[in-house]
Amino acid sequence: MSITTTSGLGPMILQSLAPAMLYVPTPTMNYITICDKVSMPANGGTTCRFMRPRALTPPTIQLGNSGIDPAAQVPQRDIIDAQMAFFGTGCIINEQVILQDQEGVLAWVSQRLAVAMRQAEDLILRDYILSAASEINAAGGSNGDNPTNLGVSDFSLVAATLDTNNAYKFMSGIEGMDRFGTGPVRSSYFMLSSTELQPDFDALTGSGFLSQWQYPANTSALPSEYGNVFNIRILTSSEAPVARGVSANSRDVYYNTVVGKQAVTHINQDGFSMNLIYRDPYYSGMLAQNATLAVKFAQAQAITQDTAIRNLLCTRAGN
């Protein structure tokens, strides 16, 4: 009796493509979230200029009875300039790939290009903020490093600094509700932090940290929101900046950007913020063999309220 097995009569085609693509690990992009958005017009030159009036001196001296007017004030303004820059990337795809591959190559490559562009937009903002915003080293932790790990006093200090600077908070508070394990959330600035710091935030539970799931209602919470400490709501991302091994004691240094409204402005030019460009193989050489897919965008950025932003540097309690 012979049994026919796949050793003798195997399938002619050994594989079939699973019906859905696997996901692409992609960081949450928090930096664009906190930006003001401005569009520069076409034919508007290379540089976007912002104007911020300065406060006039409040007239706290009484006029008296002389009948003589006080000296006039000269209004002043601050000017902030940011130069537009252009970015782009693309792929050259041979027609045989498009013809023969089983999956929709052009579709998923388009998708990846779009995500790459959005991630570039966020990374540019991240690195610009690193270069242009002032720093405070955390001092409230107990690891003895410089900066220290985060203590609740660091959150309090940075929020007090921004409050003293008359920065505007992003979020109004959430009133407490009669729900077990929840607590009210203060009106807050945003802090953009690394996902690697989440254990350190958790360690502050009971001394100031409130997980997003402990908000009385988390309808206003952003997808990347991890929780809240005093007047700061924390957004985490794996792409938040970390300087590896550069603290006084060779720990990793984390840059936590604490911002109020209008602190950072993202600028595009005449809607040139996203161009997906497909060129048919017809436009390539003599035999029209290669298609191209590309993205291109223009972006500038500026710290438009330097008093409403601080980079709070910290290390971790461990490592």
195 near another protein, rule: CB under 8 A: no
Q: Pattern 205-244, binding to another protein, x per CB under 8 A? A: ------------------------------------xxxx
Provide the 3-class DSSP secondary structure of residue 238.
coil
Contact predicate 138/154, CB 8 Å:
yes
Residue in this structure with the two tokens 């997906």, named with its chain if needed: 276
Nearer of residues 110 and 153 to another protein, judged by Cβ: 153
Amino acid at 27: P
Binding another protein (rule: CB under 8 A), the pick from 190, 301, 316, 317 is 301
Q: 67-71: long-range contacts (C-beta < 8 A, 24 or more apart)? A: none
Closest distance of CB 148 from another protein, Å: 5
11-19, 33-41, 52-60, 102-110 -> range binding another protein (CB under 8 A): 52-60
CA angle at 72 for the pair 68 and 77, rounded to the nearest 5°:
165
Which tokens sit at 64?
């008296």
Written as six digits, the tokens of 104 are 């929709």
137 binds another protein (CB under 8 A): yes
| Site size toward another protein, by CB under 8 A | 63
Q: How far is CA 27 from CA 69, 180, 239, in A?
A: 61, 32, 6
Instruction: Select the residue interacting with another protein from 41, 70, 104, 144 (CB under 8 A).
Output: 144
- What residues are paired with 135 via a beta bridge? 311
Question: Which of 2, 131, 207, 219 is close enough to bind another protein by CB under 8 A?
Answer: 131
Q: What sign results for the dihedral spanned by CA atoms 159, 205, 198, 27?
A: negative
Binding mask 260-279 for another protein (x = CB under 8 A): --------------------
Contacts with another protein, residue ranges (CB under 8 A): 46-47, 49, 54-58, 78-83, 85, 92, 123-124, 126-128, 130-141, 143-148, 164-166, 241-250, 253, 284-285, 290, 300-303, 306-307, 313
